[in-house]
Amino acid sequence: MKSENNSVPIDHVIKVDNERHIRVWETVPKDQCDKRNNTIIIASGFARRMDHFAGLAEYLSTNGFHVIRYDSLNHVGLSSGEIDQFSMSVGKESLLTVIDWLKSEHGIDQVGLIASSLSARIAYDIVADVNLSFLITAVGVVNLRNTLEQALKYDYLQMEIDEIPEDLDFDGYNLGSKVFVTDCFENNWDTLDSTINKTKNLNFPFIAFVANGDSWVQQHEVEELISNINSDKTKIYSLIGSSHDLGENLIVLRNFYQSITKAAIALDSNLVGLVSEIIEPQFEALTIATVNERRLKNKIQSKSLA
């Protein structure tokens, strides 16, 4: 895994089966920085592609991290499938496939995971079965039913499955409701209690970031989740001035990048907290990385349509 240009991610394709693939982007540590112990996987939230996290990848790689991003199956982005067929279990399959690919194909078993929004609920589901070095979540969903009700303005999960509208607008995208809701009930994704049951025996360091203006994720429920974890390696921090949308303005976005990077460096050094200082990438570097990733995405999409 090697790159000739640190500002352009390396594009990988994981073949899941004869019909499906997962696209993965790799960002290597900057040449001038000290290398960290762990590779970091970034799991995007619902309706977010891996290129939406170009800035965070730049912050982390500037501070010595080897960074892996991916687009989930049946989602937006470059991997197989359409978003109206997305379910939490498909998201879980995608994340586990990437972790296994890193370990089996590249011998990388020191892995930290950063998961935001809906992908955090998926991360919480795997922690008992996957040996991660650490977990960081940002505005991470802990009570899926409540989050869906806030986002959709109605609790559709109280309805009979045949009565739910087929298509629901979730964050500007068409959520195939019957596929999604059926999976929620069949695999116990929907309640806070189900999340607590999955995480209570979490035995590696975990930091959760909440946003004080987040109406989709309630801070007291995140605190309840953490209070039920049988570990003293957990902390919660608040991103002041932010809503659930961490990219709503440049000040909030920069604070998000800084906070996550400070947490990742601390956890990589076996400290549960935040370091005081990081290396901030130049604005020009962030701009170049964003432009290069947009070009790479467009190039891949053009080839797939040819």
All residues at 6 or more sequence positions from 9 whose CB lies less than 8 Å from its CB, including other chains: 3, 25, 26, 27, 57, 69, 293, 296
Given 12, 21, 52, 244, which residue is catalytic? 244
Residues in the chain: 306
162 is catalytic: no
Active site residue 214: yes
How far is Cα 146 from Cα 144, in angstroms, rounded to an integer?
Answer: 5
CB 6 within 8 A of CB 30: yes
Interstrand relation of 10-15 and 134-138 (parallel, antiparallel or unpaired): unpaired
| Annotated catalytic residue within 214, 242, 259, 268 | 214
For the chain, state the CA radius of gyration: 18
Please pick, among 87, 94, 117, 177, the residue that the annotation labels catalytic.
Answer: 117
Using CA of residue 215, residue 209, residue 24, residue 14, what is the dihedral sign?
negative
- Give the separation between CA 189 and CA 191, rounded to whole angstroms: 6
292 CB neighbour count, 10 Å cutoff:
16
Regarding beta strands 167-170 and 173-176, do their DSSP bridges make them parallel or antiparallel, or are they unpaired? antiparallel
Residue 117 catalytic?
A: yes
Convert 140-192 into a string of H (helix), E (strand) and C (coil): CCCCHHHHHHHHHCCCHHHCCHHHCCCEEEECCEEEEHHHHHHHHHHCCCCCH
Q: CB–CB of 211/140 below 8 Å?
A: no
The residues carrying an active-site annotation are: 117, 214, 244
